[in-house]
Amino acid sequence: MGTILNEWLDEYIGCAQRCFGDRVLFVGLQGSHGRGEADEDSDIDLVLILDRANAEDLRAYDVAISTLTQREKICGFISGRDELRCWSKADLFQFYHDTTPLLGDLAPLLPVISTEDVRQAIVFGACTIYHLCGHNIVHEKSPDILQGLYKSAVFVMQAVHFQRTGRYFKAHRELLAALPANERTLLTTYLQGKSTGKAAGVFSADFTTLSSSLFAWSGQVIREYGS
């Protein structure tokens, strides 16, 4: 992370602590900034875990961060401790690995995540992609939807690679080098589409082929990990 971002994150943490005091248990960074792959238009995906969280807390938080520069880019995840502990462990696998700690330790706030939880994360993600990709081929025919599904496929590929090897690659460039050829092609396509900033550039030019590739891959993952 660059110096300017680090200074801004320090301001954010100070803002959260002024708002909630010692109720702040953890602050983390996700998304492209957490991976070191952000550009000037990237959102700032922040994780804020409190001892508890209610609607009044959310309203107070909204008021507090309104004083920060780049308020329009702030997004992310806010939760109370007990809700996080009871969260779907299949979801928490990716959540944990994609979060860069800024304040506190996330691990003690989470339940133990097993290899079975990782398998469930893989199957759920692949099933969602398979269903929506098929629907898009027949009904919507939307390059934008297809681009979103390729983004979702990246998370599934990260989980699949972890299940195969025990290694989690947060950065896309590192993951790309570690994938087998068919998955490397999918990730390369996603990165090309992301770099253009417009789904029409990549995903409409070869909509049929790219849809077919994603549909076939997600079906293969379901068959491999769903049994």
Residue with token string 């994360």: 121
What is the arithmetic mean of pLDDT over 159-164? Answer: 98
Same domain, 215 and 131: yes
pLDDT exceeds cutoff 60 at 47: yes
The sign of the torsion formed by the CA atoms of 226, 188, 184, 77 equals: negative
Least confident range of 30-39, 57-66, 120-129: 30-39
Q: Where are the alpha helices (DSSP H) in the chain?
A: 3-20, 31-35, 55-65, 81-85, 89-97, 115-135, 143-165, 172-178, 181-196, 199-202, 207-225
Choose among 60, 58, 122: nearest CA to 90. 122
Average pLDDT (49-65) is 98
Q: How far apart are CA 196 and CA 204, in angstroms?
A: 12
pLDDT of amino acid 158:
98
119 plus 220 within the same structural domain: yes
DSSP H/E element including 50: strand 44-50
Least confident of 10-24, 68-82, 184-198: 184-198
Final residue of a structural domain among 109, 125, 141: 109
DSSP helix/strand/coil, 28: strand
Which residue range(s) make up the domain with 57? 3-109
Most distant CA pair in the chain: distance in Å? 53
SS3 74: strand
Write down the mean pLDDT value for the chain.
95
pLDDT at 197: 62
pLDDT grade for 198, boundaries at 50, 70 and 90: low
Q: Which of 91, 109, 127 is the last residue of a domain?
A: 109
103 and 9, same domain (yes or no)? yes
CATH number of the domain within which 84 lies: 3.30.460.10
- Res 199: pLDDT: 52
